[in-house]
Amino acid sequence: MSRFTSRVFLIPAVLYLLSGLTIAFATVQLFQILLGTLPADSARFSTAPISHFAHALAGVLFGVIGPLQFGRVLANKFGSLHRILGRVFILAGGFLVLSSLSLLWQFPTGDSVPNSVARLVFGLALGFTLYQAVRAIRTRDVTGHRDWMIRSYALGIGATLVAIVFLQIYLFTGVPPTGIVSDIAFVGSWCFCVLVAELIVRKLNG
């Protein structure tokens, strides 16, 4: 494989590798919601099937389309498809925000206070970055649009890193994280995604 080909596909491949497990889990949840076969730890969401289904579907679309949008081939060779998928990505992100806030409203005691606050803050932040991305491209600010889309993607897949970190803790200790450890892992993982995105933006802008 040539150096050019490697660079073209490297970023999407890495992003799919990181988010693949979460995408698969959300896809399974879509069918479980439709079939009414949610596992015991998610059974409470059966009282809010619309919000839950919208959240899972938006998560799948967001996770699948996101890496494609950062591939150079799609943007440079298939501009029309890039723009169409970009609109779907924005809509998916919007539904991700609304469904997340809806579930948080309907299940306020589902998480600890720090985790609930983090979900609220990061959800609102995702909505803000998506708005800024749309605003930038409407004013032909391609660089600004790219930067805000990177931030949006980082916020949207924050839950993916949370799942990876929680899984590593479980494999190491034999039990899922709880209490202060859970709070630190949850909030810290999401903040790490935001930090990495900001470092990438700064590097791209010199």
- C-alpha distances (whole Å) from 105 to each of 19, 23, 50, 111 are 26, 24, 14, 12
pLDDT at 131: 97
Among 93, 110, 127, give the residue marking a domain's end.
110
Given the structure tokens 């998506």, which residue do they identify?
A: 130
190 and 89 in a common domain: no
102 and 131 in a common domain: no
With CA atoms as reference, report the closest residue to 155 among 182, 130, 183, 184.
130
88 and 151 in a common domain: no
Among 95, 110, 125, give the residue marking a domain's end.
110
pLDDT in tens, 32-54: 898 888 887 777 788 888 999 99
17 and 105 in a common domain: yes
* SS3 state of residue 20: helix
Average pLDDT over residues 92-100: 95
53 contacts: CB under 8 Å, gap ≥ 6:
30, 33, 34
Weakest mean pLDDT among 6-20, 85-99, 136-150, 171-185:
6-20
182 and 87 in a common domain: no
167 and 81 in a common domain: no
142 and 53 in a common domain: no
* CA–CA gap between residue 3 and residue 15 (Å, rounded): 19
The total number of structural domains in the chain stands at 2
135 and 104 in a common domain: no
166 and 104 in a common domain: no
194 and 148 in a common domain: yes
Please measure the distance between the N-terminal and C-terminal CA atoms of the chain and give it in whole angstroms: 29
With CA atoms as reference, report the closest residue to 75 among 155, 2, 137.
137
122 and 183 in a common domain: yes
5 and 16 in a common domain: yes
pLDDT in tens, 140-163: 998 999 999 999 999 998 888 888
Q: Specify whether the CB–CB gap between 195 and 153 falls below 8 A.
A: no
Domain membership of residue 133 as a residue range = 112-206
pLDDT at 8: 60
Residue 27 pLDDT more than 50?
yes
Say which residue, 97 or 81, is predicted with more confidence. 97
Given the structure tokens 């605003």, which residue do they identify?
A: 135
Among 80, 110, 140, give the residue marking a domain's end.
110
* CA–CA gap between residue 86 and residue 134 (Å, rounded): 10
pLDDT in tens, 100-156: 999 999 887 778 888 899 999 999 999 999 999 999 999 999 899 999 999 999 999
H-type alpha helices, 36-78: 49-69, 72-77
With CA atoms as reference, report the closest residue to 8 among 70, 65, 56, 63.
70
Q: Specify whether the CB–CB gap between 71 and 8 falls below 8 A.
A: yes
